[in-house]
């Protein structure tokens, strides 16, 4: 085959550039005008004062409420990627558009008016409010902290509304591991849960390839590891147990199972949920847990519940939802 003449080549390239640039521009414009939910504030009528199950509606990304199984859902909450509320405040994590990823942590009062806004690097991951509503914590996934540029690591912040003091990353908290002070640049914290005294908290720390459940003390600013292989703890309302996800398999498609740990005896038992759950479970009451799972039948995500004592069967609580939290 003879190579085409220079003029023909040029004509081909110009045509191709025009076609491909036109195609690119067309797609970008199409994507730009596509229906997409903008970041919305809560409607004036929607507050977290009413009792019920609050959650993120995965269809529109806004927070909704359902007062009981089978009852209609009340919509109109703010758009959040993660949501939690307790006591006097609510916490809403929102990913901001753009690269590198940033997350906006909105602290809201019970009528969902903005109290404080903090912008942190990373992708929203976990949000928790202490039972009184005075202490809040969130975790984001960030790229770049780790050895491998492609890998993710986590940053966890704690905000104390009583003093207004914000710890942007809890990584520097003095940590005791196996009875000794532990120093390592690779420590990562995520998934904080607070006790009723607004001082004690539990979280996950990962270091040297293992995850540990840590108990922390805000006033003393110290943390000690309690046991290995426990992520995303969630403290029961009575403060005696912690639900957590335990890595039970090296298969990256289904690594975790939900367990409940008795904090007095450090004995654990699995829930009756056989699927791999990647969520920080919440306690609906002292006997029931709720958690998000990837949705079935094409839905983005579903909320399921299971009994905390490991009996019974998991039940579908809210289709098309995530970030569940019970108020009242």
Partner 1 sequence: MYLAANGRPDAPPRLPGVRRRVPAAVLALGTVSLVTDISSEMVTAVLPLYLVLGLGLTPLQFGFLDGMFNGATALVRLLGGRLADRRGHHKRVAGAGYLLSALSRLGLLLAGGSAGGIAAALAADRLGKGIRTAPRDALISLSGPPESLGRYFGVHRAMDTTGALLGPLAAFAVLWATADAYDAVFAVSFCTGLLGVLLLALYVPAAPGPAAALPAAVPAGPRPPRPPVLRDRAFRRVLCASALLGATTIGDAFLYLLLLRGLDLPPALFTLLPLGAAAVYLLLAVPLGRIADRTGRRTAFLLGHGALLGAYALLLAPVCAPTVVGVLALLGVFYAATDGVLMALAAPALPAAGRAGGLAVLQTGQALARLLGAAGFGAAWTLWGQRPALWAAALALAGALAAAARILPAAPLPSPAAPPIPPVPEAP
Distance CA(138)–CA(167), nearest Å, equals 11
Question: For partner 1, what does the binding mask look like between residues 244 and 273, x meaning CB under 8 A?
Answer: --------xx-x------------------
Taking the C-alpha atoms of residue 233 and residue 281, their distance in angstroms, rounded to an integer, is 8
Planar angle of CA 282, 229, 318, nearest 5 degrees: 25
**Residue choice 77, 216, 233, 301 for contact with partner 1 (CB under 8 A):** 301
Q: Is 313 in the site for partner 1 (CB under 8 A)?
A: no
Contact with partner 1 (CB under 8 A): which of 14, 23, 181, 316?
A: 23
Cα dihedral 184, 190, 194, 198, rounded to 10, equals 60
Instruction: Tell me how far CA of residue 99 lies from CA of 102, 142, 146, 269, in angstroms.
Output: 8, 12, 18, 42
Query: Looking only at residues 196 through 215 of this chain, which bind partner 1 when binding is defined by CB under 8 A?
Result: 208
% helix / strand / coil in the chain, to the nearest 5? Answer: 10, 50, 40
Task: By CB under 8 A, name the one of 40, 74, 88, 101 that touches partner 1.
Answer: 101
CB closer to partner 1, 166 vs 300: 300
Contact (Cβ atoms closer than 8 angstroms) between residue 286 and residue 236: yes
Interface pick for partner 1 out of 143, 176, 229, 288 (rule CB under 8 A): 143
SS3 61: coil
Q: Which residues neighbour 25 within 8 Å (Cβ) at sequence distance 6 or greater? A: none
Confirm or reject binding of residue 152 to partner 1 (CB under 8 A). yes
Q: Which is nearer to partner 1, 211 or 236 (CB)?
A: 211
Query: Is 188:151 a contact under the CB 8 Å cutoff?
Result: no
Q: Which is nearer to partner 1, 56 or 241 (CB)?
A: 56
Q: Is 35 in the site for partner 1 (CB under 8 A)?
A: no
Specify whether the CB–CB gap between 95 and 89 falls below 8 A.
no
Closest CA to 117 of 58, 157, 171: 157
Write down the least CB distance from residue 49 to partner 1, Å.
Answer: 31
Pick from 14, 24, 71, 309 the residue near partner 1 by CB under 8 A.
24
If binding is defined by CB under 8 A, does position 229 make contact with partner 1?
A: no
Count each helix (H run) and each strand (E run) in the chain, helices first: 1, 26
| Residue selected from 41, 60, 75, 95 as contacting partner 1 according to rule CB under 8 A | 95
Q: Which is nearer to partner 1, 97 or 164 (CB)?
A: 97
Candidate ranges 10-18, 193-201, 282-290, 313-321; the one touching partner 1 (CB under 8 A): 10-18
Candidate residues 144, 174, 270, 312; the one interacting with partner 1 per rule CB under 8 A:
144
Q: What DSSP character marks residue 209?
A: T
Please tell me the distance from the alpha carbon of residue 317 to that of residue 22, in angstroms, as a whole number.
47
Draw the binding track, 161-200, toward partner 1 (x: CB under 8 A; -: no contact): -----------------------xxx--------------
> What is the rounded CA–CA span in Å between residue 150 and residue 252?
16
> What does the binding site for partner 1 look like in residue numbers (CB under 8 A)?
3-4, 9, 12-13, 16-17, 20-21, 23-24, 27-28, 30-32, 34, 36, 95, 97-101, 121, 123, 141-152, 155, 184-186, 208, 252-253, 255, 278, 294, 300-301
């Amino acid at each position: 085959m003879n190579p085409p003449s220079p003029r023909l080549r040029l004509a081909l390239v110009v045509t191709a550039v025009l076609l491909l640039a036109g195609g690119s521009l067309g797609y970008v414009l199409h994507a730009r005008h596509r229906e997409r939910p903008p970041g919305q504030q809560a409607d004036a009528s929607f507050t977290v004062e009413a009792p019920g199950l609050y959650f993120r509606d995965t269809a529109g990304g806004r927070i909704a409420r359902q007062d009981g199984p089978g009852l209609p859902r009340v919509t109109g909450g703010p758009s959040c990627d993660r949501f939690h509320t307790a006591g006097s405040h609510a916490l809403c994590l929102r990913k901001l558009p753009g690269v590198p990823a940033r997350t906006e942590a909105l602290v809201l009062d019970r009528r969902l008016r903005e109290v404080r806004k903090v912008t942190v690097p990373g992708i929203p991951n976990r949000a928790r409010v202490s039972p009184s509503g005075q202490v809040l914590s969130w975790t984001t996934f960030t790229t770049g902290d780790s050895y491998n540029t492609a890998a993710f690591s986590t940053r966890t912040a704690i905000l104390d509304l009583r003093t207004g003091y914000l710890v942007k990353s809890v990584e520097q908290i003095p940590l005791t591991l196996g009875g000794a002070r532990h120093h390592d640049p690779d420590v990562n914290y995520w998934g904080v849960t607070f006790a009723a005294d607004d001082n004690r908290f539990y979280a996950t720390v990962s270091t040297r390839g293992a995850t540990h459940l840590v108990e922390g003390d805000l006033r003393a600013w110290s943390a000690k590891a309690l046991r290995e292989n426990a992520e995303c703890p969630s403290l029961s309302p009575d403060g005696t147990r912690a639900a957590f996800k335990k890595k039970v398999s090296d298969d990256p498609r289904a690594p975790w199972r939900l367990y409940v740990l008795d904090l007095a005896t450090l004995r654990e038992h699995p829930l009756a949920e056989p699927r791999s759950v990647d969520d920080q479970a919440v306690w609906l009451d002292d006997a029931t847990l709720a958690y998000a799972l990837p949705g079935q039948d094409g839905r983005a995500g579903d909320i399921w519940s299971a009994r905390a004592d490991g009996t019974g069967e998991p039940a579908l609580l809210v289709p098309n939802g995530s970030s569940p939290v019970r108020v009242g």
